[in-house]
Amino acid sequence: MAVMLMFIPVIIALLFFPTIFIFYNSTAWVYIIAYGVIAAIGNFIGKLFFKA
**How do residues 20-48 score in pLDDT, each as one tens digit?**
888 888 788 888 888 888 888 988 888 88
> In 3-state terms, what secondary structure has residue 2?
helix
pTM listed for this prediction: 0.65
pLDDT at 3: 63
| Angle at which helices 30-49 and 8-23 cross, to 10° | 150
pLDDT at 51 over 60: yes
pLDDT at 5 over 70: no
Residue ranges per structural domain of the chain: 9-49
pLDDT at 4 over 70: no
